[in-house]
Homo-oligomer: A and B are copies of this chain.
Amino acid sequence: MEPYVKSYREHGITTIEFFHPQSNSLPLHMLDALSQEIHYAGTHDSKVVVLQSAGNAAFCAGASFNELLAIDNEKDGLRFFSGFANVINAMRKCPKLIVGRIHGKCVGGGVGLAAAVDYAIAYTESEIKLSEFSLGIGPFVIGPAVERKIGTSAFSQLAIDSTLWRNADWAKKKGLFAEVHPSLQNMDDAVYRLSNTLSHSSQEATSELKKMFWRGTENWDTLLKEKAAISARLAMSGFTKEAIENFRQKLANKRTQRFR
């Protein structure tokens, strides 16, 4: 199946869905499409936004490694890492509440998406990991969004111990997920219940709530760009190129074995 970002509205609920065959990882053009869809939903007739991804595997594996590996200068790197910055800023500035449907694993930027929604409803198998540091970069662009939700301590733990998966229960205790459900059906029921309720809420109150929740983040347009520049610079290092190449090889070997 081809990668896509699509969006549809029903009863005031705008559902934005993305898909990529490589564990829902996101190349720049999909990130840009996501930013646009979120912006559109916030400025048109939607009453509430649901963010979800397709498939039964990962919710989102972060930024696309293939694309990152192909980048050979900081300027393109900055454009690449600004992709997630723009999505997070679009979510932050959207005057509607955004409900996240987190049906599976979140890595790197995927954790950033789960953190930037206003209310994340997750399936119990949704483990999380910030693997950036093991690749010689760091969760810089998504850092402010993740830290805002789970605090400095839990964010440091995730960022430092960058090879360890934390389970959905940990993510709930730390505040990343608002709800964790034992089945996909339960999760979907919860997403429906809440988004339906929110679609009948006062839109003036919604917009004021949203402002309150994001108070203190007014400088993020600038801040996240600065963070993207840090990632871009580090990504040009030999350390990162080698680490990502190794990672890809390992993944490729795994896939080969599977088909033997």
Interface residue ranges, A against B (CB under 8 Å): 97, 118-119, 133-134, 136-138, 140, 143, 148-157, 159-161, 163, 173, 175-176, 178, 194, 197-198, 201-202, 204-205, 208-209, 212-213, 227, 230, 234, 237, 239-240
* Residues of chain B lying within 8 A (CB to CB) of residue A240: 202
Question: Would B133 and A201 count as touching, CB distance under 8 A?
Answer: yes
Chain B nearest Cβ from A253, distance in angstroms: 22
Closest A-B pairs by Cβ, 10 of them: A153-B175, A136-B202, A202-B239, A157-B178, A149-B153, A138-B209, A138-B205, A119-B160, A156-B213, A136-B205
Q: How many copies does the complex hold?
A: 3
Q: Give me 17 other A-B pairs in contact (C-beta within 8 A), A118-B156, A208-B230 excluded.
A: A133-B209, A136-B202, A136-B204, A138-B205, A138-B208, A140-B208, A148-B152, A151-B175, A152-B213, A156-B178, A160-B198, A160-B209, A161-B194, A173-B173, A202-B239, A205-B239, A212-B227
Question: Would B150 and A153 count as touching, CB distance under 8 A?
Answer: yes
* Residues of chain B lying within 8 A (CB to CB) of residue A153: 149-150, 175-176, 178
